[in-house]
């Protein structure tokens, strides 16, 4: 059903919640790089130490795991909006952030923003924006699922109040109701193709038709919920089938995410096209795949025999 001759980037996916099989299939369908924003784990954490281990896994184990399948793994680091409400541990987590924010492959501070739009969320959102400024980091903003329109507006207001350049901010989980304002105010506008709760990809086709492809890109936001790690390649295919010009599809599914996060200086096409020799030895087994050999996934899907 899907052609896999187009490279895509999934700039928002929580791989910690996904299986190794997903990596195999994603690579098969053209995902060459992905970004894993720090988020919550489906239930509240009870100590700052578990955040530390989570952050360590984002810069350690997950990066290694992805590299085995020829996918370059990057991440963003933050105290997420939901858990900003946990006063017991929030400050300790904030103290951890500088230890991780400057590590290799950490592209931004995020996801930050609002969930319930509480005072505590506001406080830690601003503190993290200050940190982003101090460390010269991009910002990934999670817009709330409830009261989205107001939350999106307020998120952008706060970014500007804190003196952040909108070109350095990605506003994620956009929809038909918020896209216009995000683009008008000069922010990057990301859409999460996620069944039922966020964007559907037929709607996405219409968005690109209507708003073009400047500063717009898509992600799967796939996590432990009912989500789809192939959302980006599937949407790319759907757009092509609906007659969106190929160069626009490439921009929305690859080029724009690269341009937005590339501002960090940490996210370059060269990372997967021509990785440093030491990366090839230690981190990234992607070159053989990129040279056009057949990925191992077919053997896994086509055979009943497990050896």
Partner 1 sequence: MIVILKSDTPAIEVTRISLDISRQWDVKVEKSIGQRTVILGMIGDTADADPRRIQNSSPWIEQVLRVRKPFKRVSREFRHGEASTVSVPTPEGTVHFGEAYPVVIVAGPCSVESEAMIVETAQRVKAAGARFLRGGAYKPRTSPYSFQGHGESALEMLDAARRATGLGIITEVMDTADLEGVAAVADVLQIGARNMQNFSLLKKVGAQNKPILLKRGPAATIDDWLMAAEYILAAGNPNVILCERGLRTFDRKYTRNILDLSAVPVLRSLTHLPIMVDPSHGTGESKFVPVMAKAALCAGADSLMIEVHPDPAKALSDGPQCLTPDGFDTLMKTLNALAAAENRGLEPASDGTHLICSSRLLLTVSPSQLERLLTSPTFALLYEKLSQQLSTAAADWLERSLAQVVSGQSKRHLLTAFSAASRKVGKADLQVTPADAQRVDSLSPGWVFPHWSVDQAARTLLLLGIPADQEQTVQMLFDNADVGELIALYQSLPLLPNSKSYCAQAVNGVRSSMTTVFNAIALRNPYPADYFDQSAWNQMVLKALFEDSPLFLIEGLDRRANPELARMLSDYAHERWAANRPVSPELWRPVGPFAEADIVADLERVLNQPDPVQQQAAALACAHSPAAQRLLNDRPDLRQRVQSGQLTWESFGESFGNSGKEKFNVE
Site membership for partner 1, residue 258 (CB under 8 A): no
> Is residue 115 within 8 Å of residue 143, measured between CB atoms?
no
What sign for the dihedral angle of Cα 249, 254, 256, 257? Answer: positive
Site membership for partner 1, residue 263 (CB under 8 A): no
Site membership for partner 1, residue 38 (CB under 8 A): no
Q: Residue 239 and residue 191: Cα distance in Å, rounded?
A: 14
Shortest separation between residue 292's beta carbon and partner 1, angstroms: 18
Whole-angstrom CA distances from 109 to 30, 105, 127, 233, 302 are 27, 12, 11, 26, 41
Shortest separation between residue 281's beta carbon and partner 1, angstroms: 6
- The number of residues that bind partner 1 (CB under 8 A) is 34
Site membership for partner 1, residue 44 (CB under 8 A): no
User: Looking at beta carbons, which pairs linking 237-240 to residues 24 or more positions away fall under 8 Å?
Assistant: 237/1, 237/2, 237/3, 238/201, 238/202, 238/204, 238/205, 239/204, 239/205, 239/208
- Residue 52, token pair as written in the block: 């530390």
- 129 or 156: whose CB is closer to partner 1? 129
Site membership for partner 1, residue 103 (CB under 8 A): yes
- Give the footprint of partner 1 on residues 139-178 (CB under 8 A): 162
Site membership for partner 1, residue 206 (CB under 8 A): no
- Give the footprint of partner 1 on residues 115-134 (CB under 8 A): 123, 126-127, 130-131, 134
User: Residue numbers of the site for partner 1 (CB under 8 A)?
Assistant: 52, 55-56, 59-61, 63-64, 94, 98-100, 102-105, 123, 126-127, 130-131, 134, 162, 265-266, 276-283, 307
């Amino acid at each position: 059903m899907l052609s896999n001759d187009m490279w895509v980037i999934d700039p928002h996916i929580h791989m910690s919640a996904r299986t190794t099989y997903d990596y195999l299939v994603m690579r098969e369908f053209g995902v060459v790089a992905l970004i894993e924003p720090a988020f919550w784990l489906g239930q509240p954490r009870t100590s700052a130490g578990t955040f530390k281990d989570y952050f360590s896994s984002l810069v350690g184990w997950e990066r290694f795991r992805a590299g085995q399948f020829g996918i370059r793994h990057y991440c963003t680091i933050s105290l997420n909006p939901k858990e900003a409400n946990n006063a017991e541990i929030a400050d300790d987590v904030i103290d951890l952030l500088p230890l991780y924010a400057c590590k290799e492959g950490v592209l931004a501070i995020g996801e930050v923003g609002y969930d319930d739009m509480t005072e505590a969320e506001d406080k830690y959102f601003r503190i993290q924006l200050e940190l982003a400024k101090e460390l010269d980091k991009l910002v990934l903003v999670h817009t709330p699922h409830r009261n989205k329109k107001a939350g999106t507006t307020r998120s952008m207001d706060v970014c500007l109040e804190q003196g952040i350049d909108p070109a350095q901010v990605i506003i994620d989980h956009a929809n038909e109701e918020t896209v216009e304002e995000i683009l008008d105010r000069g922010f990057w506008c990301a859409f999460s193709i996620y069944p039922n709760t966020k964007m559907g990809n037929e709607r996405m086709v219409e968005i690109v038709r209507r708003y073009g492809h400047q500063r717009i890109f898509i992600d799967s936001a796939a996590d432990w919920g009912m989500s789809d790690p192939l959302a980006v390649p599937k949407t790319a295919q759907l757009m092509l089938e609906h007659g969106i010009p190929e160069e626009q599809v490439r921009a929305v599914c690859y080029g724009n995410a690269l341009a937005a996060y590339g501002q960090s200086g940490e996210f370059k096409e060269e990372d997967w096209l021509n990785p440093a020799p030491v990366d090839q030895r230690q981190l990234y087994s992607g070159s053989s795949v990129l040279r056009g050999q057949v990925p191992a996934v077919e053997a896994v899907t086509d055979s009943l025999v497990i050896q």
